[in-house]
Amino acid sequence: MVGIWLFLLISLQGYKASFTPSVNCLIMNLDYVICRWSEWGSPEVNSTFFHNNFNTRNEHMEECSAYLQEKGYAVGCRLEYEMADRFRTLLTKLVHQNKTYEQKHDLKDKVKLYPPANLSLVMSEAQELNLYWNNSKINHCFESEVRYRINNDNWQSTSPRREQTHTVPFPSNSQYEFQVRTRIHNGCCESKFWSEWSQIILWDSMKGNNTTEKHDSSMPFWKPLLSFVGTLVLLILACMLVCGERERLRFFLIPIVPNPGKNLKDLLDSDNEEGLPHISKHISFQPNFTELTCSVSEYTRVPLTGSISESESNLSNPTNQSDCLSSCSSSASTLPDTSEN
């Protein structure tokens, strides 16, 4: 039980200590000092920062005159700097409400330079490829490191050197890429921090011995923009195609059923979508033949014996249908009565 309480106590102390603000200061390019107290994210409160301005004889501390802010919170301070201040002690104080955190900073080995600039490549007459660059400041305390790769292979680094040049003897017929970074060497109290790598410079033997081309390792902003615009245009064209073929797809998937309340002529002559889709409207169903009209008359039975009255004679007299017999299947005739008396 006692062991559990000790473990919880140590854990709570570590948890509390993790929220104790820590101020980190860095000399930037021997021009100014940046002190930050948000190394692991932005704080949730604003704090007041004081410093002694590298003056150890004066106990008076002044407030920061140039705060650095992120998301509305103060996360750092920019301080003025002189060359001699690098070997002096900086005293800082961070105040929040009734809490105060004081620190002392020794900045001799905490210098970060700007990356080298103006890289250039020159092929000499002795078939040597020479790389040149410039630092932001001309200082005998600087040393540089060069890294290069051939045909997009793995990077290879050289040992640090104080010269601002690098030579590749007898380069092959390949593509070379170079980058350079700088720091203060051990003769002037070596810095723990290298500068960022410079911009990539490219040399391709296929483009000529004296051809150089600067190449940015990051993707240009217009490439993602063109990709987005191209995708959007393809999406719009696909939507237009689907909308245009909608009715045709609906016909194949769900055939149109004609309205049974309409006759054939209405379906053929109609201009709406309910007409028969598989029958051409140019087909005519009008009759193309003529038919003679045949008259049909009744007949009466005529007895074998006896007299026939005049009225009966008129009724039994058949109509002359010689013209219709050839074309009609029905005609009037007088049949003898074969019934027995």
**Sheet containing strand 48-51, strands side by side:** 62-63, 48-51, 89-96, 99-106
Give the whole-angstrom CA distance, residue 208 versus residue 171.
13
Instruction: Say if 158 falls within a structural domain.
Output: yes
Which residues neighbour 333 within 8 Å (Cβ) at sequence distance 6 or greater?
Answer: 299, 318
Dihedral sign for Cα atoms in the order 294, 298, 302, 306: negative
* 133-142: pLDDT as tens digits: 998 887 788 9
* 66-116: pLDDT as tens digits: 999 888 888 899 999 888 889 988 999 998 888 888 899 999 999 999 999
pLDDT of 273 over the 60 cut: no
Overall domain count for the chain: 2
CATH code of 93's domain: 2.60.40.10
| Dihedral pair phi/psi, residue 279, rounded to 5° | -115, 125
Give the whole-angstrom CA distance, residue 214 versus residue 121.
10
pLDDT of 1 over the 60 cut: no
Instruction: Say if 96 falls within a structural domain.
Output: yes
What does the block give as tokens for 110?
């905490």
Most confident of 112-116, 228-232, 255-259, 264-268: 112-116
Give the whole-angstrom CA distance, residue 145 versus residue 181.
6
Same domain, 96 and 130: no
**Predicted TM-score of the model (pTM):** 0.55
* 299-340: pLDDT as tens digits: 666 665 555 555 445 444 454 544 544 544 444 444 444 444
* 41-66: pLDDT as tens digits: 556 678 889 999 888 776 788 999 99
Same domain, 45 and 99: yes
Domain termination residue (choose one: 111, 144, 166):
111
Q: Which residues pair with 123 in a beta bridge?
A: 129
* Domain residue limits at 81: 21-111
What does the block give as tokens for 49?
């920062």
Backbone φ/ψ region at 259: left (φ over 0), alpha (ψ -120 to 50), beta: beta
Instruction: Say if 164 falls within a structural domain.
Output: yes
Nearest alpha carbon to residue 24 among 35, 16, 15: 35
Same domain, 137 and 177: yes
* 126-180: pLDDT as tens digits: 888 999 999 888 778 899 999 999 998 899 999 999 999 999 988 888 899 999 9
Chain CA centroid to CA 301, Å: 102
Give the burial class of 268: count Cβ atoms within 10 A of its Cβ; 0-12 exposed, 13-18 middle, 19 or more buried: middle
Helices 246-253 and 222-244 cross at an angle (nearest 10°) of 50
